[in-house]
Structure 1
Amino acid sequence: MDSLSSPWIPWMRRALQLAALGQGRTSPNPLVGAVVLDADGTLVGEGFHARAGEPHAEVGALAMAGERARGGTLVVTLEPCCHHGRTPPCSEAVIAAGITRVVVAMGDPNPRVAGGGLEQLRAAGVEVITGALEAEARSLNAPFLHRIATGRPLGILKWAMSLDGRTALPNGASQWISGPAARRWVHALRARCDAVIVGGGTVRADDPLLTSRGQRDPEPLRVVLSRSLDLPAGAQLWDTTTAPTLVVHGCDAPSQARFQLDRHSVERLELADCGPRALLEELAGRGCNQVLWECGPELAAAALRQGCVQELAAVIAPKLLGGVAARTAIGDLGLEAMEQVRTWTSTGRSPIGPDLLWRLTP
C-alpha cells in the first residue's frame, strides 16, 4: 500500500503509540496496539497488550467499542493471532465483532500464526490491508522478531566510559563515571529488558543491584554468568525479595560454592557450554525477548564474538581517567587486521545531563 497517502496512517501511528505502552511487560509476546473505527470512521475503541497472559490489544479495543465495532475498521500493529494460547484467537474475536476491514502494519512471523490470521479474516469476507507503517512496527518489535528468527533474545551492550575510553581508574574505582541523569536512563533501559546480565567480575568489583528502581513490575531477571562460582557471599544480588536472580555456571563449579548460593535460595543453572550464546538460548526458552549486557570487558568481548549483541549503548562522560593499565569496556576480540574490524552504524547521539549517549547497531 502507499503509506504516504493512506488514510489509515494517523490511526496506525496511534496504534503504535498504544503498543509501546507495554514495553518491558509483554514477553514472550510482541508489543501490539489497536484502534477500532466505526462505519463512519470515528474512533470508538482502542487497546494495547499490557502483559503476557492478559487480553490482546484487539480484544481490548473491541470490548471498548462494543456494538459500534460492527461494520467498522480495526487498525492493528500486528497480524491478529489465530491460535489458542493463554487467550483465545483474536481473529475469531474480530470476525465475531462484525468488523468489515482490518488494517495491519505487519504479519506475525511466529510459526503458529505466519499469515494464518489474515487468511482466516479474508475467508470470512473481511477486507485486509497490510503494510501501513510496517518499518515502524518492525522497529518497535525488533526484540520479538529477533528471538523468533534466531532463537535468542536481542542483546544490548551498555557501558559508561570517560572521554579517554576508560571504564575505571587504574586501581579499579569506577563509581560513578556517569552522572545521575545517565544512571536514571539506565534504570529505564533495564525496565524495557527481560534480563540484565553480568559476569562474576562485575559482582566482585561493583556489588550491583541491577534493578529498574521500581520502573518495572516485576523487575527484570538478574543473571550472573560465572563458570567457577567465584562470587562474594554477601552480594546484593542474593537478596531476591526485590528481583529474581539466576546464576549460570559450568559443570566444574565447586560444590561448596553451589551450596552457598542454595542457602540464599538463588536459582542456579548448570550449562556444559557456559558461554553467552548458550545462555541466551536458555533465556529465550524462558520467554526473554530482550536482554541487557552490563558486564565487564571479557564477557562483553565474548558476547560480541558469539553474535549476542545487536545494539551498543555507550555513555561517554566528559572526564579523563588516564592510566595505561586502566580498564576499557571491551576485552580482546581476536582481531589482527583493520580489515577485520566491524563498523557499527550510529542510530543516535544525544546529551544526557553532562554526558553523551551514543547508540549504534551493526
Structure 2
Amino acid sequence: MTAAIALSERGRPASAPNPNVACLIVADGRVVGRGWTQPGGRPHAEAMALAAARGAARGASVYATLEPCAHPSVRGPCCTDLLIAAGVARVVVATHDPDPRTDGQGIVRLRAAGIEVIEGIGRDTARAAMAPWWSRAQRARPFVTLKLATSLDGCIALGDGTSRWITGDRARAHAHLERARHEGILVGRGTLTADAPRLDVRLPGLDARAPRKFLLTHGAAPVGWTAVASPEAVDGVDSLLVEGGAGAAAAFVAADRVDRLLLYRAPILIGGGRAALGDIGLGDLAQAHGRWRLVDSRLLGSDRLDVYERVSKG
C-alpha cells in the first residue's frame, strides 16, 4: 500500500476533478499491473492496472488507495465490475470513497462476489496524498498551501522590497515542484505590482504544468489571471498555492484557510526587512499555540524547509 500511495502522487493535480488514485496488482509476490488516475480523471487507476495485468489478475491481490467506484458513468467502466470480472481474489483498500454514489457500495459488491476485502490499510497517508480532492469532497473548498521563503529573522525582502533571491537554487527548484502539484497559485496585488511574477513551472519536463493564476484584489486582474476578493472566493480548483506577499498570506491565515505551510528559511539575517506575515488579528498569544504540527523537515542546499499541517479542530 505504501508503494501504491507513492504512485498516486503521479496523478496530482492532473487527475482533477477526480481523485489521484493508484492501484497495484500483485500475483505470486510480484507486481503484475499498476495504474494511476489519468489526466482529466479517466481511465481510473484500477482500469489501467487491470489492462496491464491482463490474465495475471485472476487470483491476484489488488491494492487500491481509494475504494473502487461502484457507480456507472458515460466516461468509463465501473471499477468494481472490472475487478469482479477479472477474478481477483483479494482487494486491499486504504480508505472508503465519500462520493455518495459509491460510499461503501464498492466494498459491499466485492464481498458479495466472494472477494476478500481488507479496509483501512494506510488510510491517513492515502487521504493526505489525495488532500486536494478530499478537501473539495468533504469541505467544498480547495486545499490551501501557504509558501513562505524567509531569512532567519523572518523577512521576505529588504526594506526597499528587494527579494531576489532569499533562498538558493535547490529551494527554488523545490518550490517550482510544488507549483506543478497545485491547480492554482495566488499572489496579492502588491506582489504583482512589485515583482510581475510569471508563476510558471521552470523545471525540465514540467513546464506545461503551470497552475492557474489568481490575484487577491478588490479590483480587476490582468489578462490570464482570475481576480478573487477574499480567501473564501477562490473556486474552480481543488488545490491552491499561496505565494505572496505578506498581506495575502495574512488574509488566508486570518480566514483559517491555510491547510499546509511550507517554510523555506535561508541562513541569512536581514534586519529591518519586510515581515513575512501581516496582521492576522491575534488578540491573545495563547491563540497562536496548538495550531500547527511539523510533518517534514529537510535541508535543500544551505536552506531549510519545514512543512507544517493545520491541526484539526476535531
TM over 0.5: yes
Equivalent position amino acid for 2:226 in 1:
V
Using a 3 Å threshold, how does the CA distance of structure 1 residues 347 and 72 change in structure 2: closer, same or farther? closer
Which residue of structure 2 lines up, in the alignment, with residue 277 of structure 1?
232
Alpha-carbon distance in structure 2 between the residues aligned to 1:41 and 1:175? 51
CA distance in 2, matches of 1:79, 1:213: 35
Written as runs of structure 1 = structure 2, the 5 A alignment for 1:103-252 is 103-214=92-203, 215=206, 217-229=208-220, 238=223, 245-249=224-228
Take 2:309 and 2:242, find their aligned partners in 1: how far apart are those partners?
Answer: 15
Question: C-alpha root-mean-square deviation of aligned residues, in Å?
Answer: 1.9
Partner residue of 1:311 out of 246, 260, 264: 260
- 1:352 aligns with one of 289, 300, 303: 300
Residue 41 of structure 1: how far off its partner (Å): 5.0
Question: 2:277 maps to which residue?
Answer: 330
Q: Is the 8 A contact 2:18 2:41 kept in 1?
A: no
Q: How does 1:74-89 map to 2 (within 5 A)?
A: 74-85=62-73, 86-89=75-78
Query: Which secondary structure state, in structure 1, belongs to the residue aligned with residue 13 of structure 2?
Result: coil
Highest Rg: 1 or 2? 1
**CA deviation string 1:46-101 (max 9, x = no partner):** 22223223311111111112122223322211100112343221111111112232
Cα deviation, 1:326-356, whole Å, max 9, x if unaligned, reads 3211111111221222442222222111211
Q: How many angstroms apart in 2 are the aligned matches of 1:141 and 1:81? A: 16
1:17 Cα offset (Å): 2.7
Conserved? CA contact 1:226–1:247, under 8 Å: no
Residue aligned with 1:93, SS: helix
> Identical aligned pairs, as a percentage?
40
Partner of 1:43: 31
Q: Contact (CA 8 Å) 2:8, 2:21: kept in 1 or not?
A: yes
Counterpart residue type for residue 6 of structure 2: Q
Deviations 1:248-307 (A, max 9, x none): 15xxxxxxxxxxxxxxxxxxxxxxxx210122xx2xxx3x22210012112211111212
Query: Do the aligned residues in 2 keep the contact of 1:41 with 1:72 (CA within 8 Å)?
Result: no
Q: 1:216 to 1:22 in 2, by over 3 A?
A: farther
Cα gap change, 1:124/1:246 in structure 2, threshold over 3 Å: closer, same or farther?
farther
For residues 24 and 217 of structure 1, do their structure 2 counterparts lie closer, same or farther at Cα, with a shift above 3 Å needed?
farther
- Secondary structure in structure 1 of the residue aligned to 2:50: helix
The alpha carbon displacement at 1:42 in A equals 4.5
Residue pair 1:277, 1:307 contacting (<8 A) in 2 also:
no
* Residue type of the alignment partner of 2:249: A
Determine if contact 1:197/1:222 at 8 Å carries over to the other structure: yes
Structure-2 change in CA distance of 1:349 and 1:36 (3 Å): closer
Q: Could you tell me whether the CA contact under 8 Å between 1:313 and 1:360 is conserved in 2?
A: yes
Q: CA deviation at 1:228?
A: 2.1
> For residue 258 of structure 1, what is the aligned residue in structure 2?
none
Worse-superposed segment, 49-58 or 157-166 = 49-58
Query: Which amino acid counterpart does residue 135 of structure 1 have in structure 2?
Result: D
Q: Which letter does structure 2 place at the counterpart of 1:79?
A: E
Q: Secondary structure at the match of 2:155?
A: coil
1:14, distance to aligned residue in structure 2 (A): 2.6
The Cα offsets for residues 18-38 of structure 1, whole Å up to 9 and x where unpaired, read as 222223321222221212234
TM-score normalised by L of structure 2: 0.91
Give the strand-richer structure, 1 or 2. Answer: 2
**Following the alignment from structure 1 to structure 2, what is the Cα–Cα distance between the partners of residues 74 and 164?**
50
Instruction: Indicate yes or no: 2:83 matched with 1:94.
Output: yes
- Aligned residue for 2:41, secondary structure, equals coil
| TM-score normalised according to structure 1 size | 0.79
Q: Give the letter aligned to residue 219 of structure 1.
A: A
Summarize the Cα distance change of 1:345–1:202 in structure 2 as closer, same or farther, 3 Å threshold: same
Gaps of at least 5 residues in structure 2 are none
Query: 5+ residue gaps in structure 1?
Result: 1-11, 232-236, 239-244, 250-273
User: Alpha carbons of 1:179 and 1:218: their partners in 2 closer, same or farther (altered >3 Å)?
Assistant: closer
Shift of 1:137: 1.4
Task: Encode CA deviations 1:191-239: one digit per residue, 9 max, x unaligned.
Answer: 111111111111001110111125253421111122123x7xxxxx74x
1:164-198 deviation digits (Å, cap 9, x = unpaired): 11111111111111111111111001011111111
Equivalent residue pairs, number: 306
Structure 2 CA distance for aligned equivalents of residues 170 and 276 of structure 1: 27
Secondary structure of 1:129 counterpart:
strand
Could you say what secondary structure the match of 2:40 adopts? coil
Residue type of the partner of 2:15?
T
Q: SS where residue 208 of structure 2 aligns?
A: coil
